[in-house]
Chain A
Amino acid sequence: MIHIEGLTKRYGERRVLDGVDWVQAAGETTVLFGGSGCGKSTLLRCLNQLERADAGRIRIAGHDIDPAQAPAADVLRRLRCGVGMVFQQFHLFSHRTALENVMEGPLHVLGRLQGEVRQEALDLLSRVGLEGHADQFPHQLSGGQQQRVAIARALAMKPQVLLLDEPTSALDPQLREEVRRVLRGLAEEGMTMLVVTHDLRLARQIADRAAFLDGGRILESGPAEQVFGNPVHERTQQFLEEVHS
C-alpha cells in the first residue's frame, strides 16, 4: 500500500529526509516517531504531495510518484482522493459547519449528489461520536471535537490510506482519549494508517509496527511492542525515556 525508496528532501543545505525507505502493507497501522525537526511531518507531506521530494520513489495507494517531475493535475487529484490527511492543528474550514466540512470533499471534489453525501456525512459524524454537533462551527467545538470532525472529513473521501500528523498533540490531555478511541476503532476496522505521534499511549493502542526517525533516516523499526518495549538503538531508548519523563 505504501512503498518508499530512498526518499530525500532538502531545505537549502539541510537534508530533512536523507534516504528514507519504508514499506507498509494494506490494513496495517504504523507509527513514526522522533525528535522535533527529524523530518516526520515532511515525510507525510511528501506522501500526498503537499511538498515535493528531491529524490527517491514513492508508491502509495496505487500511484507512482516520481519526485523529478510535477504530477499532472488529475493524477494529483486521484492521489489525494486516495490518501487522506489529518493535521495536528485540525485545519477545519472555519466558515463552514462540522457537517459542511465533512461534505465539502465528496460534493466539490468528487462531484457527488447532495442527498447521499449528506447522509454519509451524518453517519460519519455519529461514528466519531458527534451526532449532535453537525450544525456547529469549528470555533464552537472543543479541540478534541474539531479533530474528530477532521478525521470524519478525511474519511468522507473513502481513502485507502490515512496519514495523521500528530493527531493528539495539540489537545489537552483529557481530550486526547476521545480521539484515541476513534483511531483505535479505525485500526480495528483495518484502515491503513501512517501516524506521526509522540503520544505513546496512542501508539501502543493502535500500532502494528513502529519506526524511529532520526536525522532524516529511519534508525530503527519493527513490531510496535518491540520498538517501544525493548528498543535496540541507544538513541531510541534515550528518546523514549525523555518522552516518558
Chain B
Amino acid sequence: MLQIRLLTFLFGTLGLLGQDLWSEISRKGALRWGNDAEGGAPYIYHDPVDVSRLIGFEVEFAEALCARLGLRSEFVQNNWDLLVPVLGTGDAFDLIIAGLERTPENLARLSMSRPYFAFGQQLVVRSNDLALSSLDRLKDRPVGVLSASASQRLLERHGGVRIRIYQDNVNYFQDLELGRVDAVLADSPIVEANLPLHPQLRKAGPFLETGFYAVGVRPTDRELLRRVDAAVEALLEDGTLKKIYSRYGVWGPEQERLSAWRDEGLAVRQRISVWRDWRVYLPLLLRASVTTIWVTCGGMALAVLLGLVLVLARLHGPTPIRWLAVAYIEVFRGTPLLLQIYFIYFGLAQQLGLRLSAGLAAVVALGLNYAANEAENYRAGIQGVPQGQVDAGLALGMTRSLVLRRVVLPQALRLCLPSVTNDFIAMFKDSSIVSVIALVELTKEYQIRAIDTGDYVGLGLMTAGIYFTISYAASLGARHLERRLRRDPH
C-alpha cells in the first residue's frame, strides 16, 4: 500500500513539475535560456568594445522576449551540439534560443514556438572559383557545414559532395580561403556576418532552402510555449524584431515570411529505433571507425619513431640536443592535446602558410603529442636493462652504439611494449578529439547520429562495441607480440 501511495506521489510530483514550469519561472522572475557563445556573430558573441558583454541578434531577441514576459533574462552557456539533449534531460535551462531550426527532426525531439527569424541556406565559394556555383558542380568536393545543422541535413539528403563537419561558424570560412574545402553551406545570417571579413569569398546562387529559427521548449511545458508564442508574435508586430535585426544587418526581405507564417503542422518525424535499422547505422559507424583507425595508426607510427629519436637524444645526445629533447618532452606532455591540434591545424596555416589537411594535421598532432610519452616509456625500458650487460657488451669490444642496438634496445623494447600498447589504446580513444578539425571519426559520427535519432543508448552501445572490439583486438595482438619477443619468459 505504502509503495503504491509513494509511486502515486512521485508521479504526481513529476506531472506537476512538467505543468508547473511556468509558475516556477514566474515565481523566480527569471527565464534561463540556453545558447553557445561560440556561435559567433551575428547570433551571439562578445562585444569587441567590452569583451565581458555578450551581444548579437539572438541575445537581444532573448532579452526582448524576457522583457515582454516580465522576466529577467539569464543566459546559460552550453555546447551547441548538445543543447537539445541537455534540455531534455537536465534542469540547466528552461528553453533554447540558439538558431534552432524549425525542422521535422527538431520537432520530433522538442516543442518549438512560432518562428522568430527566417533564414536561407546560402552556398559560399571562393571568388575566383567561377565554376563552382552550385551543389551539382561541387560533386565529390569537400563542403563545410556546421555540425547538426539544417545545412548538414540538406547536404546529406542531396548527396554527391564530401561533407566536412565543423563545430563552429567561423573556422569553415577560414578553411575555404585556405583551400581545405571548396564551398561552405551556411545559414544566411552567418554568411552576412562573415563575408565582409573574407573579401576572397562570395555568395554562390540563391538560397538553396529557406527555414525558420524558433524557440525550443520541452514538450511538457505547454504553458511556457503558449506564452512564448504570444510574446514572439507581439515582438514581431510592434517592430521590435525588425529594429533588432536591422541593427545586425540581418533584416532582409525573407523576414516578411515571419508574419505570414502559419503552423502547417510539419510532418513530425518518428523516433527512430537504431536496433531495427541497424543495417543503416552500423555501416555508418563502421565507416567512421576507419577514420579513427588510420588516424590512430598513423599517429602511433609517428609517435613510436619520433619517441625513439627523442629518447636517444635525451640519453646519448650532446648537451644542447639533450636539453632540446627534454624541453620537447616537457612541453608536449605539459600542454593539452586540443590546444596542440588547433595550433597545428590553424596556427601553422595562418603563421607559416603550412596548410595541412585535417587528416594529416590529426596524425601529426597525435604523433607529436604521444612521441613525448613514448620517449618516456622507452627511457624506462632502456634504464630497466641492467648496466652489467652494457659493460659485458663493451668488454666484448662493442661500440656504444652497437651495445645500444644489440643489447639495450631489444630488451628495452620488450620491457616497454606493455606501456606502448596502453598508449596505443589510449590514443585510439583520444583520437575522438580530432573531430574539432572537421574530421568525422567514430565518436563524432555517434554524436551526429545520436542527435539525429535521439537514441543515445542504442547507438552508444553499437559505438562502444566497435571501440571495444578494436581495442581488444589490439591488446590481443600486443600480447602475442610480447610472447614472441619474450622467447624467454622472465
Residues of chain A at the chain B interface (Cβ within 8 Å)? 48, 50, 73, 76-78, 80-81, 84-85, 87, 89, 91-95, 104-105, 108-110, 137-140, 150, 153-154, 157
Instruction: Report B-chain residues with C-beta under 8 Å of the C-beta of A80.
Output: 394-397
Q: Which of B317-370 contact A (CB under 8 A)?
A: none
Number of A-B contacts (CB under 8 A): 69
Give the Cβ gap from B51 to chain A, nearest Cβ, in Å: 60
Instruction: Report B-chain residues with C-beta under 8 Å of the C-beta of A48.
Output: 395
Instruction: Report A-chain residues with C-beta under 8 Å of the C-beta of B410.
Output: 95
Instruction: Report A-chain residues with C-beta under 8 Å of the C-beta of B386.
Output: 91
Instruction: Report B-chain residues with C-beta under 8 Å of the C-beta of A76.
Output: 397
CA distance A105 to B490 in the complex (A): 24
Given known A-B contacts A94-B488, A108-B402, A109-B402, A81 and B397 have beta carbons under 8 A apart:
yes
Give the Cβ gap from A112 to chain B, nearest Cβ, in Å: 13
Contact partner, A93, options B392, B394, B402, Cβ 8 Å: B392
CA distance A84 to B395 in the complex (A): 7
Instruction: Report B-chain residues with C-beta under 8 Å of the C-beta of A92.
Output: 389, 392
Q: Are B392 and A91 in contact (CB under 8 A)?
A: yes
Q: Is B268 an interface residue (CB 8 A)?
A: no
Give the Cβ gap from B412 to chain A, nearest Cβ, in Å: 10
Q: Are A105 and B414 in contact (CB under 8 A)?
A: no
Closest to B390 in A: A91
Since A50-B395, A85-B392 are in contact, a sample of 9 more A-B pairs with Cβ atoms closer than 8 Å, ordered by chain A residue number, is A91-B386, A91-B388, A91-B389, A104-B396, A104-B406, A108-B406, A137-B487, A140-B488, A150-B392
Q: Are A109 and B397 in contact (CB under 8 A)?
A: yes
Give the Cβ gap from A195 to chain B, nearest Cβ, in Å: 15
Q: Are B399 and A77 in contact (CB under 8 A)?
A: yes
Q: Mark B390-414, 1 if CB is under 8 A from A, else 0.
A: 0111111111001000110011001
Q: Are A109 and B398 in contact (CB under 8 A)?
A: yes
Q: Mark B405-427, 1 if CB is under 8 A from A, else 0.
A: 01100110010000000000000
| Between-chain CB contacts (< 8 Å), 5 pairs | A77-B399, A93-B406, A93-B411, A110-B397, A140-B488
CA distance A88 to B376 in the complex (A): 31
Q: Are A94 and B389 in contact (CB under 8 A)?
A: yes
Q: Are A93 and B389 in contact (CB under 8 A)?
A: yes
Closest to A44 in B: B395
Instruction: Report A-chain residues with C-beta under 8 Å of the C-beta of B388.
Output: 87, 89, 91
Q: Are B391 and A91 in contact (CB under 8 A)?
A: yes
Give the Cβ gap from A164 to chain B, nearest Cβ, in Å: 12
Instruction: Report A-chain residues with C-beta under 8 Å of the C-beta of B391.
Output: 50, 87, 91
Q: Are A95 and B411 in contact (CB under 8 A)?
A: yes
Given known A-B contacts A80-B394, A95-B410, A109-B396, A137 and B402 have beta carbons under 8 A apart:
no
CA distance A92 to B410 in the complex (A): 14
Q: Are B396 and A137 in contact (CB under 8 A)?
A: no
Q: Would you list the 7 A-B pairs with minimal beta carbon distance, nearest first?
A: A137-B488, A91-B388, A91-B392, A80-B397, A85-B395, A105-B396, A109-B397
Give the Cβ gap from B30 to chain A, nearest Cβ, in Å: 70
Q: Are B490 and A139 in contact (CB under 8 A)?
A: yes
CA distance A81 to B394 in the complex (A): 10
Give the Cβ gap from B395 to chain A, nearest Cβ, in Å: 4
Instruction: Report B-chain residues with C-beta under 8 Å of the C-beta of A85.
Output: 392, 395
Q: Which of B394, B395, B407, B487 has the most CB of A within 10 A?
A: B395
Closest to B400 in A: A73
CA distance A103 to B450 in the complex (A): 62
Q: Mark B43-64, 1 if CB is under 8 A from A, else 0.
A: 0000000000000000000000
CA distance A43 to B386 in the complex (A): 22
Give the Cβ gap from A48 to chain B, nearest Cβ, in Å: 6
CA distance A84 to B392 in the complex (A): 10
Q: Are B395 and A95 in contact (CB under 8 A)?
A: no
Give the Cβ gap from B64 to chain A, nearest Cβ, in Å: 75
Give the Cβ gap from B13 to chain A, nearest Cβ, in Å: 68
Instruction: Report A-chain residues with C-beta under 8 Å of the C-beta of B487.
Output: 95, 137
Instruction: Report B-chain residues with C-beta under 8 Å of the C-beta of A153.
Output: 392, 396
CA distance A48 to B51 in the complex (A): 71
Given known A-B contacts A77-B397, A108-B406, A137-B488, A94 and B392 have beta carbons under 8 A apart:
no
Q: Are A94 and B397 in contact (CB under 8 A)?
A: no
Give the Cβ gap from A98 to chain B, nearest Cβ, in Å: 11
